[in-house]
Structure formats: C-alpha cells, structure tokens
Structure 1
Amino acid sequence: MKKNLVMFSVIAGCVLMSSCVSKKSLENCQAENQKLSENFRDMAKNYQDAKEQLAASTARMTSLEDQLAQQKKDYAALQGSLDKSLANAGQNNISIDKLVDQINESNQYIRHLVEVKSKSDSLNLVLTNNLTRSLSKEELKEVDVQVLKGVVYISLADNMLYKSGSYEINDRAAETLSKIAKIIKDYKDYDVLIEGNTDNVPVNASAASMKNIRNNWDLSCLRASSVVQALQNQYGVDPKRLTAGGRGEYNPVTSNDTEVGKQRNRRTQIIITPKLDQFMDLIGQAPETE
C-alpha cells in the first residue's frame, strides 16, 4: 500500500511539472508572436513612409524637369530674339557704340533723378523734424505733421486757427503760425500751398460774420486766404511762394457722421513741396532718343 502511494505521488509530480513547462512555453510563444507582430507593423509603416517619400521625390523631379524644359524653351526664345536683333542691327547699320552712348546717357539721367529724390526726401525729413521740435506739446495736439510721397503736410485744426464761425485768424494761432513761417522761410526752394477744408454742414449765411459767405467753398477759400495773408504780412514769407486754395467739404479725411469726424475734417493744410520748375528742368534734361 505504501509503495503504491509513493508511485502515485511520483506520477502526479511529473504531470504537474509537464503542465508548468507547457504553460511557460505557451507564454514565450505568445510574447514572441506579439513582438513579431509589432515588428511587422513597424516595417509596414516604414514601407508606407518610404513609398510616400518616393512619390513626393518623383513629383519634385517631374516639376524640376518641367521647369528645366521651360527654361530651355525661354533660353531658345531669347537666343532667337538676340539673333534677330543682331541681324537687324547688321542690316540697318546701327552703330553699337551709339547705342552704348545712349544707354549711358539714360543711366546718368536716372542716377541724377535718384540723387535729386534722395536729396528731397532728406530735406523733407529735416524740415519735418525741425518743425516738430519747434512746436510745443500743446501745439502738437492740434497740429499734425506728415510726409507723404515727398510732400510735407501740416494740418491745423480750425478751432486753433480761426475765430468761432469765422475766417479771421485768432490770437491763439499767432505763435504757432510764426514757428511754421520760420521753417518756411528757412527752406527757400519750396513752394507753399494753403488749402482750406470744411465739414459737410452748410454755412449759416444769416450770421453776422458769415453774411458774405455763400457756402463751404467760400468759407474754405477765405480761410486759406487769411492764412496766406498772415504769413505774408505778419511773418514776412515771400508771397511769390504762396498759393491759397479751398476744397470745401469735398476732401474729407474721415466720415462726417460723427462730431469727432466733422472736427477732423474742418482743417487747414499747409502743404510744402519742392518748386515745380525744378522738376520741369529735370524733365528738360532728359536725354533725347531717336
């Protein structure tokens, strides 16, 4: 009996050991299978990426080939034009030296224009800086100075320049106009246009100070004329350099729908530009062409 029990125990142990070994082998196989699956997915992704890169490279190469073909075509067209031009030059006995001289003259003229423009831009910048430095902080609140396309614009609010509802210059504007006049006198090679502007509200013709004014055209012109006469008579600006003009309500800088907008549109601009005859002289200096 004891012997049989021992044999049974041995057999049971063997069975249990065999079962443990089989389970461990199965787990190892599963782990290896999972690793192989992950490797396969990685390889598949790498393959797809490489495929896409190859397609992109192929497309780029095709585009470059098209560009090269177009450049070859353009080069051939240019070569043909050159050959034709040379043939025409030979047929018409055109002097190459004369063409070179004309090109050189044109280049010199262009350089001259660039130098003049650079000089004008520099002078305008200096003029603007000098004017801005001469005005006080309080004056700068009512005076706007800008340089646009080589022209200096000084914009003054109407309530700073004129008596209420009038075109007469008030006492408060005297100091500001004297500073602007000094800058104008310092730059003798510049012409000065005084331009009056209004909002779109019709003038009150029944007011005592407005009885001779029919509309905003009259008001803007008279205000510009008042500034011109003040610059001439009180501050000694040469009247030959001055022009007075009015644009009425037809040159607004913003909408007249608000009181703030109307206030901005009621302004007088002092526009300082290089003299026109200087530019006409430059045009006259342009090289002649045949």
Structure 2
Amino acid sequence: MTTSVLDVPAAVAPQADGAAAGAGRGARRAHGVHPLTHRRAEALAHEATRRRRLALIARGRRARLAATVGVVFALAGVNVANHVLGWDTMWLGPVGAAALLVFARWQGLSWHQLGLARQTHARGLRWGLGVIGVVALVYLAGILLPSTRTAFLDARYHLPPAGALLTAFVMIPVGTILLEEVAFRSVLWGFLSRHARMWQVLVASSVLFGFWHVFPAMASATGNEAVGSAVAALGPFAKVAVVGGTVLFTALGGVLAGELRRRSGSLFASVGMHWATNSLGVLFGVLAWRLAA
C-alpha cells in the first residue's frame, strides 16, 4: 500500500525539518559561507545602500538650496539693473518673469507650487476682484478727506487723464506687477517652500520684497509732498527714515499679498491686490490733484 505524506506521524515532521535545515547549513559550510558571515554581509550591503540614498538626498538638497540662492541673487541683479543702471522695465519685466518661470519649471516646480495651476484660477480671480473693491473704497475715502488727501499728491502721478490710464493699465502691470508677483509670490515662493514651513516662506518672501523697494524709496522723499513734509524735521536722517519706513510698509504689504496667495492657492489674488494698491493709487492720485487745484 502506498504511504501518503499525510500519513506520516506528526513526530516525524520536526525531524524531517531539522534534517533539511541541517542539510542547508551543511551546504553553506561546504561552500565556505558561515551563517553569521552571511548575515553580516547582508547588513553591510543594506548600510551601503542606505548611505548612498542619504548622499543622493543631501546632494538634492544642496542643489535646491543653490537654486534658491541663485534666484535671490538674480532678483538683486534685476533690481540694480532697473533702478541703478536705468534699464527699461517695459521689456525687463516680461523677460525677467519669463526667465524665472522657465528656470523654476526646469528645476522641477509644478504649476501648483508656482500658484498658476489651472484649477485655482477662478478662486484667485474672485479673491483679487474682492481686494480691488476694498482698496477702491479705502482710496475713495482717503481723497475725500482733506486731512489724508495730501498722501495722494505724488509728483510722479501728476498726469493728464490719458497718461494716468496708460500708467495704471499698461506701464505698472507690465513694468512692475508682472515681474514682482512672479518673482516673490510665484518662483521665490515655490523655491522657499522646498526648505521651510509655510509661515517661514511668507515671512522670508515678504522681507525680501521689502528690501526690493530700497531704491524706489530713495526717490519718494522728494517726490511725494506728504512724505517729504513728514520727515523734513529729521534733517539729514530724512532719507533713512523714508527708506526704512518704505521697507517696513512694503514688507507688511508682502505679508498681506502672500497670505492672499496662500489662502487662494493662486497668484491672481496677490496680483489683484498689487494692481489695486499701485494702479488705483495713480488714478485716485490724479483725482486728488484735481480736488487740490
């Protein structure tokens, strides 16, 4: 009668397993590989793989950090070219913004990280239009009150209506807003988010945005009647006060713009705020000059 495997007594099975294990150990010994040596080799191979992975991660972090620092230095160079060398911002703005976006995409940033994902456009536009409405109401109240009207009397914007419209709808959006928003709330924002928490990204981008306005602030002490009279008593320190105040004010504005970008997930929200504060300032400034005449 044929004996089935199932008919083998239970006591025999451990003996068979032990015999098989012994045969395996014997085979390893026959080939000159001790069990402890084998496990040690596996552990060493695993450790070497782990170290290679950590080295690749560290190399990637260094590369991302270098790219972020490169963006900051590039923005510093653009600022000097604009305000010191006198390059024309009407071409520098679009070219600089396009170059920054190309570099960001080449470095692996997604459209979502840049605040330009298609699914966020509608939400960003709603936030932007809402901010424009709020700023318009504030500016309207400002020029209607004689005590605050002088803040709008900026000599740079003492323009005829056609010039004011061209400045508000073409020159400021193309020459200023496009580059600054892409630089600080899109590309730099995306690079910083690789290294820091969101609140740190917000603070860092806003501080750099404040320092971006050092050169423009140097001209505002003599161009704006309200600013000039406010710091006249400081004598030789007047320009320092204007520059410091402008950096602080624009940094706080950067915090607000960055928060709009964070909440909406879209660059369009901060663009709306930027256009409202700058371009509506020009349009209401023209109206303030008319009321003061």
TM-score range, shorter chain: under 0.3
Whose radius of gyration is greater, 1 or 2?
A: 1
TM-score normalised per structure 2? 0.26
Higher helix share: 2
Q: Which has the higher contact order (CA 8 A, sep 6+)?
A: 2
